[in-house]
Amino acid sequence: MDISIVIPLLNEEESLNELYDWIVKVMQSNRYSYEILFIDDGSTDNSWNVIEKLSLKDNHVKGLRFQKNYGKSQALNAGFKEVLGDVVITMDADLQDSPDEIPELFNLIKKENFDLISGWKKKRYDSKIRKNIPSKLFNAAARKTSGLKLHDFNCGLKAYKNTVVKNIDVRGEMHRYIPVLAKNAGFTNIDEKIVVHQARKYGVTKFGIDRFINGFLDLITIWFLSKFGKRPMHLFGLLGTLMFIIGFGFAFYLGVDKLFFHTTSRLITERPEFYLALATMIIGTQLFLAGFLGEIILRTKSDTKRYQISTKINC
Ligand SMILES: Nc1nc2c(ncn2[C@@H]2O[C@H](COP(=O)(O)OP(=O)(O)OP(=O)(O)O)[C@@H](O)[C@H]2O)c(=O)[nH]1
Ligand SMILES: [Mg+2]
């Protein structure tokens, strides 16, 4: 199979038929073999009925329905597990991404052998203050920490080589950083392509202002995970040992001074060095323990199920 289209969605009933028709038109005119996988993430509108109807008339259409809303990352992860196509293309369900981009994305992956091509909504059609400016800041921070030269990490329209999606684990709200996850998994041939972006035609936006707060926290997590995720002891153990040595140094100095030199008549507990010694030794031990516990958790963790699929069509 040439292409798998993966479409995570939440309450997008008005857009689905139009999106489906458009994708099929592109697929047929290019003679691709394909599948379209809709992941309904606990929609409360008619989205699932629409998907069921589409699947009845066309067996290229596949569907996954979550028991409740687990988030876009979980939906993508579930979709990635199912896909069969050599090239996997994700897109938003709200008609803001154009299926006309598919052939070029396909060629970049298939012919030019890229691992991942991320869409870049160079010209955006949404609110400047609420979206454009925060998004610029956010992308700059992501570029700095990840070393990837992308302008638009969070674009819903992306194309992947099949092996890439099978080797990454998208969880939490990490869908904003899939290129970073791919890079950390060893796929470095990553680039971007300018794509057209359209104003939302139906429905309402699904992400509020908390996207930016959570986004930045996730960025720190991902930076940490990529550097120390598999070896927490190397960070916490080092910091803990350093703190402990500093504390021990102060305590040693106080003891020697008291016993042999008597430079002051003050009690040890009246000297600031005493409190520094106390605090740094305690913090040092705590940090060391944090690293140690992290290592134990890493070694014993079992992969518990993070989402529940209630219905499958054609999968
Ligand atoms: N699976 C899943 N998909 C979601 C969720 N929230 C949003 N989506 C889908 O993700 C895509 C992007 O969400 P949008 O609300 O359009 O976000 P946006 O494009 O940044 O915002 P707008 O410009 O206002 O449309 C759409 O296809 C949504 O249906 C969710 O919780 N789970
Ligand atoms: Mg949108």
Q: Confidence band (pLDDT; 50, 70, 90) for 191?
A: very high
Q: Which of 213, 228, 243 is the last residue of a domain?
A: 228
Q: Confidence band (pLDDT; 50, 70, 90) for 304?
A: low
The predicted-structure confidence for 25-36, as pLDDT tens digits, reads as follows: 999 999 999 999
Residue type, 93: A
Domain count along the chain: 2
The reported pLDDT for the residue numbered 224 is 84
- Over residues 41-50, the mean pLDDT reads 96
Rounded distance between C-alpha atoms, residue 238 and residue 87, angstroms: 43
Atom of ligand 1 nearest to the CA of 207: 15
Average pLDDT of the residues of the chain: 91
Does residue 312 fall inside a structural domain?
A: no
| Rounded distance from Cα 255 to ligand 1 centre (Å) | 63
The reported pLDDT for the residue numbered 168 is 94
Atom of ligand 1 nearest to the CA of 93: 27
Rounded distance between C-alpha atoms, residue 311 and residue 23, angstroms: 23
The answer to whether residues 26 and 101 belong to one domain is yes
The answer to whether residues 95 and 189 belong to one domain is yes
The reported pLDDT for the residue numbered 297 is 86
Ligand number nearest to the C-alpha of 9: 1
The predicted-structure confidence for 52-70, as pLDDT tens digits, reads as follows: 999 999 999 999 999 999 9
Does residue 63 fall inside a structural domain?
A: yes
Q: Which of 194, 228, 262 is the last residue of a domain?
A: 228
- Over residues 217-232, the mean pLDDT reads 82
Rounded distance between C-alpha atoms, residue 150 and residue 158, angstroms: 12
Ligand 1 pocket by C-beta < 6 Å: which residues?
8-10, 12, 39, 41, 69, 71-72, 75, 92-94, 96, 126, 156, 200, 205-207
The answer to whether residues 39 and 98 belong to one domain is yes
Rounded distance between C-alpha atoms, residue 17 and residue 279, angstroms: 63
Does residue 87 fall inside a structural domain?
A: yes
The reported pLDDT for the residue numbered 141 is 87
- The pTM score is 0.81
The answer to whether residues 151 and 83 belong to one domain is yes
The answer to whether residues 15 and 91 belong to one domain is yes
Does residue 208 fall inside a structural domain?
A: yes
Atom of ligand 1 nearest to the CA of 41: 1
Atom of ligand 1 nearest to the CA of 74: 1
The answer to whether residues 164 and 246 belong to one domain is no
Does residue 314 fall inside a structural domain?
A: no
Q: Is the pLDDT of residue 139 over 80?
A: yes
The answer to whether residues 120 and 169 belong to one domain is yes
- The candidate with the shortest Cα–Cα distance to 6, out of 39, 29, 31, is 39
Ligand number nearest to the C-alpha of 7: 1
| Rounded distance from Cα 294 to ligand 2 centre (Å) | 38
Does residue 311 fall inside a structural domain?
A: no
Residue range of the domain that includes 222: 3-228
Q: Is the pLDDT of residue 173 over 90?
A: no
Rounded distance between C-alpha atoms, residue 182 and residue 36, angstroms: 23
The reported pLDDT for the residue numbered 129 is 73
The reported pLDDT for the residue numbered 303 is 63
The predicted-structure confidence for 254-296, as pLDDT tens digits, reads as follows: 999 999 988 888 888 999 999 999 999 999 999 999 999 988 8
Mutating to test ligand 1, I would choose from 37, 46, 90, 92 the residue with most ligand atoms within 8 A of its C-beta, which is 92
Q: Confidence band (pLDDT; 50, 70, 90) for 302?
A: low
Tell me if residue 302 falls in helix, strand or coil.
coil
